[in-house]
Amino acid sequence: MLIKLTGGKVYDPANGIDGEIRDIYVRDGVIVAPPADARIDEEYSLHGRVVMAGAIDPHTHIGGGKMTIGRLMLPEDHRGDPVCRGHLTRAGCGHAVPSTLTAGYRYAEMGYTACFEPAMLPANARQAHMEMADTPMVDKGAFAMLGSDDFFLRQLAAEDDIEAIKDYVAWTLHATQAIAIKVVNPGGISAFKFNQRQLDLDEQHVHYGITPRDVLLTLSRAVKELGVTHPLHVHGCNLGVPGNVETTENTIIGMNGLPVHLTHIQFHSYGTEGDRKFSSGAARVAELVNSHKNVSIDVGQVLFGQTCTASGDSMRQYGNTKSANPKKWVVMDIECDAGCGVVPMRYRDKSFVNALQWAIGLELFLLIDDPWRIFLTTDHPNGAPFTFYPHLIRLLMDKGFRNDMMQKINPDAAASSVLASLDREYTLYEVAIMTRAGPARSLGLKNRGHLGVGACGDITVYQDLADREAMFATPVFVFKNGELVVKGGRIVKVVQGATHVARPDFDRGIEKSLRRYFERYHTVGLDNFKLSDDEIITDGRGRLVIQPTAARA
């Protein structure tokens, strides 16, 4: 099967192609060099259209227990967005925490071909993968959460050899079928179980005596030395706390050049200036990110409306429950492993705090120079549901539109933000970096996020509309592995994506101490805890892609 995509305007930053008119050939799902005289089976004339690789969301909560808690807790949120069964598609529902089926369809309809669940608790990994398996259309992967689990904290407190810690981190990646490691409120989820209500970067955990700084330095070193491509994915201390810009600054500087990805940094960029003791720390954070090449970030943009926050950060989510809207919420302590907090939230444009959160996110986008180190996220659904991405892209690409939107927000928030003075407009090339090439490179996805020879045929074609929101909301064509799956923004073929994992080498001797630990303390045995490949593949419904890792250092 040979497909030719003819004459489109191609934005392929991984290969340095910025809006050139090019033909693309896809043979049996893979992009190939122009064949000499082969027969073209299908040709799509794309003159005047914009061609990019399929988009990749590197941080979206699409699978796992806390999402299902959110679903079960908020029937009223789903009732407004029912989705009927279609000729090809299953019924479901949308909005803040959509059903898995609807999430997959809607991602594909927006031109996304891969999504990564960033907060998979090892204890909940099996269910997270079940939910991702029921998310059709897109490839997926998950980041395993460590850093508040008692096994690691015991290792750290006992000053275990770094090699043993690396073995444990690698074992976790294997056992949970993960592609990266995430840390959430380092040590803080555990500290909350001991009734600590905050844990700043250098504050000691009451039981283990370790600090978040110790956790971050150890885990980021372990991830790096294991050769895992994606750096430690960090949800830092003090999420949402006014003044946390201080912590963020100390975190960035404190990493001492170790690679780190700071996620939903908008929620960590708050100052305490002004009458309301809440101000933007975006300029300071942007300056730090610009000057620290070891740091990448995603924004976690807030957009207005009803959503539901869901995080492993039980400590901070408990603190946020006072803002719950509607007034109901769940906080959990989980399995000597982690925790979670699910708090519904309605961001209002007339609220000073919410409006400033909105502005802080946009300031970060516009003040951080290098699009290769910043990824476009709303931390779905924490800042807003992922279906807002086209709107967010327009805010970044269209200063006039941005200024119009700014007229609608709380005037004091608008006045205290530098946003109006920022003239930057993202280009299509930069958007392609932020939503494709950058995440693919950061996550170590071979043959994804670009359109060069050898790349898989995940391709999105847009109309080149002046209204960038309309453009990115409804792609003309989406190809998954070379198959046309979306046409005119509608699903024309339902497919099942692969699961991406990373499997660094490790010494299986670690299972000796793990087995003893599981036997003494856990309620599941070590062998039953681990997820087999068969559970991902589930009779051929799923597929595993093992992404390369570098040699262990």
Partner 1 sequence: MSEVAAAVEFDHVPCPFCGLVCDDLQVVRTGAALKVAKNGCARAVSGFERPLPAASPQIDGRDASLQDAIAAAASLIRKSSAPLYGGLATDVAGMRAVMALADHSRGTLDHALSEAVGQNLKVLQSAGWITSTLTETRNRADVVVIVGSDVHALHPRFFERIVCADTTMFEETDKPRTVVFIGEGLDQSAASGPRVGEVVTLPCPLHRVDEVMGALLARMRGNKLSADNVAGVPLSAIEELGKRLNEADYSVLVWTPVGLQTRDSDLTVHAICDIVRLLNKTTRSAGLSLGGDEGATTATSVCGWQSGFPTRVSYASGAPDYDPLAHAIPRKLAGNESDLLVWVASYSPDLTPPDTSVPAILLAPPGMRPPRTPAVFIPVGTPGIDHAGQLIRCDSVVSLHLHDLGRSQTPSAAAVLSAIEAAL
CB nearer partner 1, residue 365 or residue 386:
386
Total residues interacting with partner 1, rule: CB under 8 A: 66
> Counting contacts by CB under 8 A, is residue 494 touching partner 1?
no
> Counting contacts by CB under 8 A, is residue 533 touching partner 1?
no
CB nearer partner 1, residue 48 or residue 525:
525
CB of 124 to partner 1, least distance (A): 5
Question: What is the residue whose two structure tokens read 């069964």?
Answer: 85
Q: Which of 28, 35, 38, 31 is nearest to 1 (CA)?
A: 28
On the CB side of 262, CA atoms within 13 Å amount to 30
CB nearer partner 1, residue 126 or residue 174:
126
- Using CA atoms, how far residue 400 sits from 202, 268, 498, in Å, is 43, 28, 40
CB nearer partner 1, residue 66 or residue 373:
66
Of the ranges 23-31, 93-101, 167-175, 251-259, which one interacts with partner 1 (CB under 8 A)?
Answer: 93-101
Candidate list 5, 31, 113, 124; residue touching partner 1; CB under 8 A: 124
CA distance 294 to 317: 29
Name the DSSP class of 113: E
DSSP string computed for 34-95: PPSSPPPSEEEE-TTEEEEEPEEESS---SSHHHHHHHHH-HHHHHTSEE---SSS--EE-S
Q: How crowded is residue 53: how many other Cβ atoms within 10 Å of its Cβ?
A: 32
CB of 73 to partner 1, least distance (A): 5
Q: Which of 272, 344, 345, 263 is nearest to 301 (CA)?
A: 263
Candidate list 14, 56, 83, 297; residue touching partner 1; CB under 8 A: 83
Residues 167-196 that bind partner 1 (CB under 8 A): 192-195
On the CB side of 358, CA atoms within 13 Å amount to 31
Please report, as a single letter, which amino acid is at residue 553.
A
> Counting contacts by CB under 8 A, is residue 419 touching partner 1?
no
Candidate list 256, 407, 421, 523; residue touching partner 1; CB under 8 A: 523
> Counting contacts by CB under 8 A, is residue 346 touching partner 1?
no
295: enclosing H helix or E strand: strand 295-298
CB of 282 to partner 1, least distance (A): 32
CA distance 11 to 8: 9
> Counting contacts by CB under 8 A, is residue 404 touching partner 1?
no
> Counting contacts by CB under 8 A, is residue 90 touching partner 1?
yes
Tokens of 328: 């109901």
In terms of phi and psi (left: phi > 0; alpha: psi -120 to 50; beta: otherwise), the region of 257 is left
Evaluate whether 225 touches 166 at the Cβ level (below 8 Å). Answer: yes
486: enclosing H helix or E strand: strand 483-487
CB of 440 to partner 1, least distance (A): 27
CB nearer partner 1, residue 152 or residue 426:
152
CB nearer partner 1, residue 121 or residue 355:
121
CA distance 381 to 319: 18
Candidate list 51, 232, 342, 414; residue touching partner 1; CB under 8 A: 342
Candidate list 168, 329, 347, 388; residue touching partner 1; CB under 8 A: 329
CB nearer partner 1, residue 294 or residue 321:
321
CB of 159 to partner 1, least distance (A): 18
> Counting contacts by CB under 8 A, is residue 252 touching partner 1?
no
> Counting contacts by CB under 8 A, is residue 527 touching partner 1?
yes
Please report, as a single letter, which amino acid is at residue 443.
L
CB of 309 to partner 1, least distance (A): 13
> Counting contacts by CB under 8 A, is residue 104 touching partner 1?
no
CA distance 223 to 305: 37
> Counting contacts by CB under 8 A, is residue 466 touching partner 1?
no
Candidate list 24, 53, 67, 308; residue touching partner 1; CB under 8 A: 67
Evaluate whether 398 touches 423 at the Cβ level (below 8 Å). Answer: no
> Counting contacts by CB under 8 A, is residue 80 touching partner 1?
no
CB of 385 to partner 1, least distance (A): 13
Burial class (CB in 10 A: 0-12, 13-18, 19+), 147: buried
**Binding-site ranges for partner 1 (CB under 8 A):** 63, 65, 67-69, 71-75, 78-79, 82-85, 90-93, 97-102, 121, 123-124, 126-127, 130-131, 134, 150, 192-195, 207, 318, 324, 327-337, 342, 520-525, 527-528, 531-532, 535, 538
